[in-house]
Amino acid sequence: TDKLQVAIDGPASAGKSTVAKLIAKRFGYVYCDTGAMYRSITLKVIQEGIALDDEPAIVDVLNHTTIDFKPGDPNQLVFLDHHDVTNAIRSEQVTNSVSTVAALPGVRTNLVDQQRNIASHGGVVMDGRDIGTTVLPDADLKIFLVASVSERAERRFKDNAEKGIHTPIKELEAEIATRDYKDSHRKVSPLVKAADAIEINTTQMTIDDVVAEISKLMENKL
Ligand code: C5P
């Protein structure tokens, strides 16, 4: 194989996107942040005042929506109907609503289709919850990243501080636990480690350590 499909799954704030971005850059692969797609449709649903569980209305909106990624520095930019929503999709309101929208089967069918299209062109690092189990069941390498809830809350606390957001750690822990619960217990493609995924516990690891370990696993497949 000359270009791999790499799936990186795991619970909220385990460092998936940070690591996936760095790996994609290192190998010259496309990075696809599937969480950003679920967040984008959730933002639009909130903006249009649609109930978070109104599946027919949301699927209708999704059919008239475009979500695109464009290169940006330092981060990839996310466009919803050609508007830059890179920051807007990270708001607390979107974060705390997205799991409800992402549980709707019609939403998943639509976005999974788009994700498979993105991956069909070759070298890709895709992060999410169901990449190894559902989106790319034949991925060349499947990673399942985990870290303790307290470590994940602490990482988010630091990220937030840089953005001027000061939600208490205990609240972040509760939010993370709630989102994990919802993502793991939904009927369609819940968050679960694929049988052939390699689990990496990042609680005590630096970002560089994790990138090095995954890079080594990739080199072994090339
Ligand atoms: O990865 P991120 O935290 O940005 O994902 C936001 C939410 O999108 C998750 O909590 C989950 O509800 C949903 N999601 C999903 N399947 C994916 C990626 C994200 O259901 N592949």
- Tens of pLDDT, residue by residue over 183-218, are 999 999 999 999 999 999 999 999 999 999 999 999
Query: Percent of the chain at pLDDT above 70?
Result: 100
Residue 215 annotated as part of some ligand binding site: no
Q: Which numbered atom of ligand 1 lies nearest the CA of 12?
A: 3
Predicted TM-score (pTM) of the model is 0.96
Ligand 1 neighbours (beta carbon < 6 A): 12, 34-35, 38-39, 98-99, 102, 128-131, 179, 183
pLDDT tens sequence across 94-109: 999 999 999 999 999 9
Centre of ligand 1 to C-alpha 67, Å, is 15
Q: What is the pLDDT of residues 33-90, one digit of tens each?
A: 999 999 999 999 999 999 999 999 999 999 999 999 998 888 899 999 999 999 999 9
Residue 72's pLDDT is what? 87
Predicted complex ipTM exceeds 0.95: yes
pLDDT at residue 93 tops 90: yes
How many Cα neighbours within 13 Å face the side chain of 21? 14
Q: Tell me, what's the pLDDT at 144?
A: 98
Burial of 48 (0-12, 13-18, 19+ CB in 10 A): exposed
Atom 14 of ligand 1: nearest residue by CA position: 35
**In testing the pocket of ligand 1, which one of 9, 38, 125, 134 has its CB within 8 Å of the most ligand atoms?**
38
Q: Note the pLDDT of residue 158.
A: 93
CA of 35 to the centre of ligand 1 (A): 4
Question: If you average pLDDT over every residue of the chain, what do you get?
Answer: 96
> Does position 1 have pLDDT exceeding 70, yes or no?
no
